[in-house]
Amino acid sequence: MLKKMGAVGLSLAIVFMLGCGKDEAATSSSAVEVQQKFTWRLVTTWPKNFPGLGSAPENFAKAVTEMSAGRLTVKVYGANELVPAMEVFDTVARGAAEMGHGAAYYWKGKSPASQFFTAVPFGLNAQEMNGWLHYGGGLDLWRDLYSDFNLIPFAGGSTGVQMAGWFNKEINSVADLKGLKMRIPGLAGEVLQRLGGIPVTLPGGELFTALQTGSIDATEWVGPYNDLTFGLHKAAKYYYYPGWHEPGAMLEFIVNKDAWNSLPKDLQAIVSYATRAMNQDMLDEYTARNNAALKELVETHGVQVKQLPEEVLVALKQASDEVIAEVIAKDDNAKTVYESFKAFRDDVMPYTAISEKAFIDARE
């Protein structure tokens, strides 16, 4: 009887150990899957390590590496290091790089609707733009639009309200815009053209030379922080405001859809939350840095800061409305996106008027 019990006990022990072995193997396999490492390339439209615009992808890469404990590492390539600035969209779409950082209005040739996700003349400021994207349905529309290109977009930082730009001559009337050759992309370029100007699209790294050599008469870029870095004050005398064309310029992170789907859920979450953090961080940086840069431009370099005349702003607003109406009449996607954008703007403006604007007026 004892021998029988011993045999049964031995059999049970063997079964138990075999079961444990299967569990351990499954656990080991799961651990291997969890510990799989990924290396991504992130291409940008900005010069390497350029303040503000270029800081966001660098800070993103650092944050993702730290939060993932090295399971996902991201190597950042500035414009022309891996691909030219204006090839970022196509490079990420075909998977030659897993990720990109730039501005959606650069890709209006791919889809006119893309412009609405960077800036709309006289549109939403940074705070309102973030509200529309994350709580007003804007991001869903953006992702629907980019889905056909095998891309997933994320908000990638805002510059806040920009400056109207650098000019080699004073702008005293609408007539002064006629024949003006200006670097100004997106919808704003079409608005300038409507008023007789000549819009040019150039990447940031080419602006100083173009302005200095006279191949363009004026350029918008971002604001004091970035403009000082590029030395644009050495190539143009007059610095105009307000940034009617980009009241809250939103940038983008784009991710190749296949690369995204290859990540486990926790790494997808890390990428998602890291982009959201960088989106806010960029606005913080510009808010802190523009002030000192503007002071240096005026007090050290003698830059003349001037306000665009009301006559010019009224004409620009009217032309903006006309251009947008034409764009949405020709493209169904643009119509869908702009209807959402405009509905949010119309809804948010009354509260902005009695909150942000009223407070600023009172403070002054």
pLDDT for 275 beyond 80: yes
Tracing tokens 């022309």 back to the chain, one arrives at 80
* pTM greater than the 0.85 cutoff: yes
Give the domain range for residue 96. Answer: 36-160+248-287
On whether residue 82 sits in a domain, the answer given is yes
Domain count, the chain: 1
On whether residue 77 sits in a domain, the answer given is yes
More confident residue, 205 or 57: 57
What is the mean pLDDT of the segment spanning 177-190?
A: 96
On whether residue 148 sits in a domain, the answer given is yes
pLDDT tens by residue, 9-35: 434 343 344 444 445 444 444 554 558
On whether residue 281 sits in a domain, the answer given is yes
Q: Residue 185: is the preceding peptide bond cis (ω within 30°)?
A: no
On whether residue 99 sits in a domain, the answer given is yes
On whether residue 49 sits in a domain, the answer given is yes
On whether residue 333 sits in a domain, the answer given is no
More confident residue, 5 or 220: 220
Nearest to 320 by CA among 114, 129, 112, 121: 121
Q: Report yes or no: 113 and 333 within 8 Å, Cβ to Cβ.
A: yes
Q: Which residues contact 344 (CB under 8 A, 6 or more apart)?
A: 124, 128, 131, 132, 136, 138
Q: How far apart are CA 218 and CA 243, in angstroms?
A: 14
pLDDT tens by residue, 109-141: 999 999 999 999 999 999 999 999 999 999 999
Residue 5's pLDDT band (cuts 50, 70, 90): very low
Q: How far apart are CA 338 and CA 334, in angstroms?
A: 6
pLDDT tens by residue, 304-340: 999 999 999 999 999 999 999 999 999 999 999 999 9
On whether residue 72 sits in a domain, the answer given is yes
Find the CATH number of the domain harbouring 147. 3.40.190.170
At residue 34, the pLDDT reads: 52
Q: How far apart are CA 121 and CA 218, in angstroms?
A: 18
pLDDT tens by residue, 35-56: 899 999 999 999 998 999 999 9
